[in-house]
């Protein structure tokens, strides 16, 4: 009950911020743009006739052709810009989306799931490093207005999480701390299923066989990586955490793109 009240309170704050803003930037993760999209937030912004821009971040972690295909599809619904806050790619395109809307001061609220890179987007736009960042989910604790230029103010907000989202999906997106999950194994299983279907070479890189059942793949990876319990049993809990951390920190993306030479 207390947790539900906290979430309801968080959404009240989201609504208040949208009401006080002119534009909503919704930051998505390029690895899962549809999953990290919050239709509830968009619906409220549309109801108030606010401008919405989709910002697909972390494009450095995916194939460029895939990101462009996602951009074309998303842009049929809302303006959509591809960026990489890490490299600064897409910065000028995003600023160009905001400047035509600027006359007198406008307020731009930056929303998204925890860990999609909201603060990094603000730092990229301002080039001042004023929004605090961290690879850990839930780092931004409160709202902070930051001036982008003389006409535009940006608001960094805590991550929004729809109430019906599962812990497995949230952990896989980096929006839920994997170390706080009672059972991290289902998260790793879901990741393994995705990698087996889309990037089987990654499974082989970690020492698994993509032709095996998912639970056996995780066990094989644990053995290959030396994550063993007393008696030689694979430590699947610890290996699950390592695998998921590698996913949302971008280490697996380096394997996919061939950047990791180890």
The residue written with tokens 């599962």 in the block is 166
The residue written with tokens 């279907």 in the block is 197
Shared domain check, 106 and 47: yes
- Within a domain: residue 7? yes
Shared domain check, 195 and 152: no
pLDDT in the model for residue 81: 97
pLDDT in the model for residue 45: 92
Looking at 126, 156, 186, the residue that finishes a domain is 156
pLDDT in the model for residue 232: 87
pLDDT in the model for residue 174: 66
Shared domain check, 185 and 145: no
CA–CA distance from 42 to each of 23, 78, 93, 94, 112 (Å)? Answer: 11, 10, 22, 19, 11
Burial class (CB in 10 A: 0-12, 13-18, 19+), 236: buried
pLDDT in the model for residue 135: 41
CA–CA distance from 64 to each of 120, 125, 258 (Å)? Answer: 20, 22, 14
* pTM tops 0.85: no
pLDDT in the model for residue 190: 86
- 94-140 pLDDT, tens digit per residue, is 988 887 665 567 889 999 887 788 888 988 988 765 544 434 444 34
Q: What CATH number is given to the structural domain containing 14?
A: 3.40.50.300
Domain of 237 in residue numbering reads as 167-257
- 159-187 pLDDT, tens digit per residue, is 665 555 566 666 666 666 677 777 888 88
pLDDT in the model for residue 137: 40
Contacts of 198 (CB under 8 A, 6+ apart): none
Shared domain check, 93 and 41: yes
Shared domain check, 151 and 27: yes
Shared domain check, 148 and 20: yes
Q: For the chain, how many structural domains are there in total?
A: 2
- The span from the CA of 25 to the CA of 17, in Å, is 12
pLDDT in the model for residue 102: 54
Shared domain check, 94 and 21: yes
pLDDT along the chain (262 residues), means of 10: 48 83 92 86 92 94 90 96 94 86 76 85 78 41 71 77 59 69 84 88 93 93 92 91 85 73 47
Shared domain check, 116 and 35: yes
First to last CA, the chain: 48
Looking at 137, 156, 175, the residue that finishes a domain is 156
Shared domain check, 176 and 49: no
- The span from the CA of 65 to the CA of 70, in Å, is 9
């Amino acid at each position: 009950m207390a947790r539900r009240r906290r979430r309801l309170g968080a959404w009240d704050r989201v609504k208040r911020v949208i009401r006080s803003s002119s534009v909503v930037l919704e930051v998505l993760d390029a690895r899962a743009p549809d999953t990290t999209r919050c239709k509830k937030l968009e619906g409220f912004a549309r109801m108030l006739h606010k401008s919405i821009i989709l910002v697909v971040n972390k494009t450095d972690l995916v194939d460029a052709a895939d990101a462009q295909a996602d951009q074309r599809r998303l842009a049929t619904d809302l303006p959509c810009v591809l960026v990489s806050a890490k490299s600064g790619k897409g910065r000028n395109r995003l600023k160009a989306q905001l400047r035509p809307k600027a006359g007198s001061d406008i307020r731009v609220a930056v929303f998204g799931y925890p860990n999609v890179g909201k603060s990094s987007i603000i730092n990229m736009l301002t080039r001042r490093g004023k929004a605090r960042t961290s690879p850990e989910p839930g780092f931004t604790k409160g709202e902070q207005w930051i001036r982008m230029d003389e006409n535009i103010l940006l608001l960094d907000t805590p991550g929004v999480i729809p109430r019906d989202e599962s812990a497995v999906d949230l952990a896989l997106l980096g929006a839920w701390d994997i170390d706080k999950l009672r059972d991290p194994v289902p998260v790793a299983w879901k990741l393994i299923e995705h990698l087996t279907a889309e990037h089987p070479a990654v499974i082989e890189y970690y020492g698994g066989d993509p032709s095996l059942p998912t639970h056996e793949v995780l066990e094989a990876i644990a053995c290959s990586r030396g994550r063993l319990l007393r008696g030689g049993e694979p430590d699947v809990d610890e290996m699950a955490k390592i695998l998921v951390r590698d996913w949302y920190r971008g280490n697996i993306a380096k394997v996919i793109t061939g950047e990791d030479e180890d």
